[in-house]
A and B are shown apart, each in its own frame.
Chain A
Amino acid sequence: MTPIFDVIIVGAGSVGVPLSMVLSMRNIRVLVIERGHSIGQGQNKTAIGGIRATHSVPAKIKTSQISLNIFSTWQADYGEDIHWQKGGYCFPAYTSETESNLKGLLKVQKSYGLNIDWLGSKELKNIVPGINTDGLLGGTFSPDDGTASPLMSINAFYNMARKYGAIFKFNERIEKIIMRNGCIYGVKTNKQEYAAPVLANCAGAYARELGKLAEINVPVFPESHEAGVTEPVQPFFKAMVVDLRKTLGVENFYFYQNSGGHIIFCLTPENTISGTNTISTSEFLPIAAQRLAGTVPRLRNVKIRRIWRGLYPMTPDGMPIIDRVREIKGLYMAVGMCGQGFMLGPGAAMILADMIMQSPPSLEPKLLESFSLYRSFESAFEKLK
């Protein structure tokens, strides 16, 4: 007997797990199929935990605001600590070019009603005690943004989804998407078949691979970024510091201190590293050390504990794809999060759940065009992606 569900979600990651939660809380029978051993073992655990609404594209701002609302109220609503910290995002400017870019964006961001302002270097020093003030011209600060633990969050969403009846199958790979009369009928994995009229592609870095099984071109191409974590030290700042200085090998560098006292840091490489290889490079640590100690000099005395490399499932224009596939009835996707799957995940899940259930949309239909699978993908990358 083929088990029958209302919705099959492929991928138990940053998007698939919150989607399973949102749907099962709305009484939908959900099956999640994951090729890994457990939840969040793809890119979720490689995310460092930043959550911000201060983007510059309205659709992303709104999506993140939905996410922020879920993250920031989770403990109050459900009692579980997901290590949410309302520490804000801080973009220090050390060059006049960065200053003018940030100030230019600030106007756009403010016009969307975002809580963000320009602070002088002295004020920034209160946000990040010990920040290197040599050449510091000030920077933007958005106090409503924050951070949470991707690991704790996905576990909380997973527990909630299971509580509402979602079923999870691990160590299973989709071998075939079964269709009848142009409609989704189910999937066949390496273990068995499952039936459902709706299939949601939440396969992250492997979204394109999955799309191919339905002969749908999903323009998602993984790149990699490296990150690391230190030993815990007494908490002294909470903000996510995004250092935009371009140096050899570095496009930008960002870090924060989590509620456990660990400093978690991540580097956007100057030159894109395509592919799915996630072995750490020998260049990363010396660069990361220079950037950390360069921005907050006292960090030279912290010990580095561990490093890793995770994937950014990129789209050609740097915007996610959250859409219904027009050619195949019942096929949906929330993919191409471009390295922001953790922060966009719950919001993306709400938007996709609305589409699947044909509920009143959480996002205005006009804004949804930015996430369409059928857009041109030619527009320039969002600034400060």
Chain B
Amino acid sequence: MNRHITNHPILQAPQKEKISFVFNGSALSAFKNEMLSAALFANGIQTFGHHHADNSPQGIFCANGQCSQCTVVADNIPVKACMTPVTEGIKVFSYEKLPDLPDVSASPLPAGKTKTIETDVLIIGAGPAGLSAAIELGRENISVLIVDDKSEPGGKLVLQTHAFFGSIEHCHAGTRGIDIAKKLSSELEKHPSIKIMLETTAVGVFLDGKTGIVNDNKFTLVNPKKILIACGAREKALAFPGWDLPGVYGAGAFQTLLNRDMVKPSEKLFIIGGGNVGLIAGYHALQAGITVVGIAEALSSVGGYKVHADKIKRLGVPIYTSHTVIAVEGKNSVESITIAEIDKEFAPKPGTYKSFSIDTVLVAIGLNPVNELLTQARSIGLDVFCAGDAAEIAEASAAMFSGKIEGSKIIRALKKSVSIPEEWMSNLSILKSKPGKTKELELPEKYTGFFPIIRCVQEIPCNPCVAVCPNKSITIPGNVITGCPVFSGRCDGCTKCAAICPGLAITLVKNPEKQDEPAKVIVPFEILDGSIAPGNEADCTDMDGIFICKGKIEKVISRKNLNRRLLIQMSVPRDKAMQVAGIRVQPLELTAPYLKEESSGITDETIICRCERVSAGKIRRQIQDGLRDMNQLKAFMRCGMGACGGKTCQQLIYKLFREEGVDLKYAADFTNRPLVSEVPLSAFLTTDLAD
């Protein structure tokens, strides 16, 4: 079995050297230097071991070096699979019990003196916010050190194969996230005062104001005048029976496996959460040839952009609104999920339970800022700045402005005068605004010749279609970027609008002069599907994914300036042409549920603290007994004491407090301590020895 992705509509599979390694005694192949987690997934292994406390199966969870759930034993040493590259012949064992440390020979004793890097500004995180801030600082020739734990700059941008919203002028609208990352990186290179250290994790902020970083398993200190925290966000956790099985993980982790590591971690998956993150993850899954069985959203409508939702509905993904997950079932990994419709009190309705056979569940119910280092820096009283998702959860386009603004504030704090354009502030507030009103789709009068159908009926900040129309026939009433674009006037059928629309929401219709001839429809398409070829028939769907008619494929247009997007020209009945919004790639039977007997929701047995295997019931009983301090819970129940340090369970425990009727202001929060994530002791064994 090899689940490396070799063919992808957007991404290019890198040419990498093949090597072999051993897992539990079997020889397996991998790409040189890919992460162990990717290599295991590529070989169809998603259970990496069993917890030493209760033998529960363990696997990937954060894919980000933060949680240690993916620990395996490589050449006798316990390591995080998601952060450890595969090397030729490395012998890996699943984590089945507390590992024995191998005996080694003595090393020198004298205490080391740690190297300190001096810089004006330390930026933690090379995502859209960090890079944008660095560029502002670089323009002023201020010395900047950016650290990031990944091997390339861009943060989550490098996982975003889809085109961005906003305006072309201000935030690269219509450009794919992966390409924005490259643009920002090359901009960075123009400024010699900026240094970037990749594969470098910031692990703590200390009393002397220095930040500890670990690179190449070496601990170094950075002594900045100002710190910018731009380390982004992490998925909010959701506890339900079975959420601790291997195969349940965040949408971010999924995108890492899929779009960075280029392995196909699943054949069939289900997504919990209909925000942009969940919708986009669904789209990415389809692009990799994974069946997306459905998306469940607890609210009555999806929280993400309508165009994102429409895009995947057209392709054949059912979205279950007002539905919640009841449980995930499986023995050693995920085998099925059960969902149910919920009433206004979020209680499951009897008779609405349905189950699906799947191998993976993506949790995408929202994001929380990664703010441990911010808390530590503030507790010391440092002059610390914060940008992007680490400050406030919003789109990456907003993070770029937030970075520019915070970067400029740092310039000012360093006593250099710089003006912060008013426009940036307004752009930031527009870009981070939630989607506005949705109106009905108005179809145009019966034209002959070419005309676009713009299925962009929800107020979101986006206008590249307006910018690219050579005839200026697409406008937004009132000229506000959050308005909905309308077409009127001349259309030559140049397809530029259909090619650039980030939501793939524009189709072109051509009605021939003769009334009895079929119409032509041109739809944008970004999925690899061999059946989409001239001469074949396709199932055409409307905006909501409902089957409209068969379309006869006439042309598959692929041009360089289409930016890896295809335009599919089909012949369809004239009376259906304006309704055709896309092509279904997932037949209905692929996503059909089977009925399930009712079961209880979150049970006392449901695990809340994954690291230390603490169940909801145990925590509930303590809260009922009067416990009001998370630290006390940590002290003797161990929740939050594990490798992740409470990053996952903290919010879940809040929820339990609320369920028990305790106002969170009476529940004291966890104390935040370094290290932010586990670091091998050897990283602190400095070679630069004093005396």
Chain A interface residues (CB < 8 Å from chain B): 36-41, 45, 130, 132, 134, 151-152, 154-155, 170, 230-236, 245, 247-250, 261, 277, 279-283, 285-294, 297-308
Contacts and interface: CB of A to CB of B under 8 A. Distances in A.
A37 B629 contact: yes
Contacts of B668: 37-38
Interface string B399-420: 0000000000000000000000
A245 B636 contact: no
Interface string B631-648: 110011000000101000
Contact of A170 (B114, B629, B678, B679): B629
A249 B206 contact: no
Given A130-B103, A282-B114, A301-B682, 9 more contacts: A232-B52, A233-B100, A235-B98, A247-B111, A250-B111, A289-B681, A293-B681, A293-B685, A307-B673
B636 A294 contact: no
Nearest to A168: B626
Contacts of A302: 78, 101, 680-681
A280 B675 CA distance: 10
B679 A248 contact: no
Nearest to B116: A282
Nearest to A299: B681
A325 B355 CA distance: 71
Sort A-B residue pairs by CB-CB distance and give the 3 closest, nearest first: A289-B684, A38-B629, A37-B668
Nearest to A306: B673
Contact of B99 (A39, A40, A170, A234): A234
B106 interface: yes
Contacts of B645: 305-306
A37 B681 CA distance: 33
A152 B634 CA distance: 10
Secondary structure call for the B interface? loop
Given A170-B628, A301-B680, A231 B112 contact: no
A290 B109 contact: yes
A297 B207 contact: no
A301 B106 CA distance: 12
A247 B99 contact: no
A307 B104 CA distance: 25
Nearest to A279: B207
A191 to B, nearest CB: 14
Given A289-B685, A301-B680, A234 B109 contact: no
Contacts of B683: 289
Nearest to B632: A38
A155 B636 contact: yes
A41 B107 contact: no
Contacts of B103: 130, 297-298
Contact of B380 (A38, A279, A305, A307): A279
B691 interface: yes
Interface string B647-691: 000000000000000000000100001110011111111100011
Contacts of A287: 111-112
23 contacts: A40-B635, A132-B106, A152-B635, A170-B628, A233-B101, A234-B100, A234-B101, A248-B111, A249-B111, A280-B206, A280-B207, A282-B206, A286-B114, A289-B684, A292-B681, A294-B107, A303-B678, A303-B680, A303-B681, A304-B675, A305-B643, A307-B674, A307-B675
Given A155-B636, A301-B680, A38 B631 contact: yes
Contacts of B171: none
B636 A300 contact: no
B673 A248 contact: no
Contacts of A301: 76-78, 101-102, 104, 680-682
B105 A151 contact: no
B54 interface: no
A245 B104 CA distance: 21
Contacts of A235: 98
Nearest to A131: B106
B133 to A, nearest CB: 24
Interface residues of B, number: 57
Secondary structure call for the A interface? mixed
A5 B201 CA distance: 54
B115 to A, nearest CB: 10
A134 B673 contact: no
B572 to A, nearest CB: 60
Contact of B98 (A247, A261, A285, A304): A261
A151 B636 contact: yes
A45 B675 contact: no
Contact of A297 (B99, B106, B112, B675): B106
Q: Which of B97, B101, B104, B208 has the most CB of A within 10 A?
A: B101
A216 to B, nearest CB: 30
Contact of B221 (A152, A250, A282): A282
Nearest to B52: A232
Nearest to B630: A37
A255 B684 CA distance: 17
A306 B674 CA distance: 6
B323 interface: no
B219 A45 contact: no
B107 A297 contact: yes
A282 B212 CA distance: 7
B627 interface: yes
B682 A45 contact: no
Interface string B211-245: 01000000101000000000000000000000000
B671 to A, nearest CB: 8
Nearest to B631: A41
A23 B424 CA distance: 65
Interface in B534-548: none
Q: Which of A154, A248, A287, A306 has the most CB of B within 10 A?
A: A306
A352 to B, nearest CB: 24
Contacts of A300: 104, 107, 680-682, 685
B110 interface: yes
A293 B682 contact: yes
Contacts of B212: 282, 285
A41 B632 contact: yes
B208 A282 contact: yes
Contacts of B478: none
Given A290-B685, A304-B679, A236 B632 contact: no
Contacts of A248: 110-111, 690-691
A253 B379 CA distance: 27
B684 A285 contact: yes
Contacts of B635: 40, 45, 151-152, 154-155
Q: Which of B76, B100, B107, B636 has the most CB of A within 10 A?
A: B636
B210 interface: yes
Contact of A37 (B52, B628, B643, B684): B628
B68 interface: yes
A383 to B, nearest CB: 23
A179 to B, nearest CB: 32
A288 B684 contact: yes
A286 B636 CA distance: 29
B204 interface: yes
